[in-house]
Amino acid sequence: MVDEQVARISISIPVDLLRRFDDHIKRLGYESRSKAVQDALQSLITESKWMCEKMGEGIGAITMVYDHEVKGLEEELTDIQHRFENIIPSSMHIHLSQDNCLEIIAVKGKGQDVRDLAQELRTKKGVKHIKLAIVTP
């Protein structure tokens, strides 16, 4: 067995997110929260590294859930999409509930541009979740 150094960290997350995380990892069969967090971090690093190093053309979709009630958010998201109109052939907006909307944005273009778009959307207050799925043609 490889002797790895282990760092102990403390993080602050909303109680509801922790409850949902615990419920989910239990269903997946994780024996510890630490192992599930390690896997989630590794997945994030792998995905992000791929996107940061991605060269050439890519096609895919960005799925985003956001809080419709956050003042000015819809206008910000629309402005961002207009700035990236050269890589967005289409998008779809779905009302999930009184507060939540789902936006599915088709993308086609340079990997760097797609990554930049996803990052800009991700940083806006009220955006709850973004998932980027990219494939190469």
| pLDDT tens figures, 8-37 | 999 999 999 999 999 999 999 998 999 999
| pLDDT tens figures, 64-105 | 999 999 999 999 999 999 999 999 999 999 999 999 999 999
pTM over 0.75: no
What does R_g of the chain's alpha carbons equal in angstroms?
A: 17
Alpha carbon distance 59, 114 (integer Å): 9
In sequence order, what are the beta bridge partners of 16? Answer: none
Are residues 42 and 31 in contact, defined by beta-carbon separation less than 8 angstroms? no
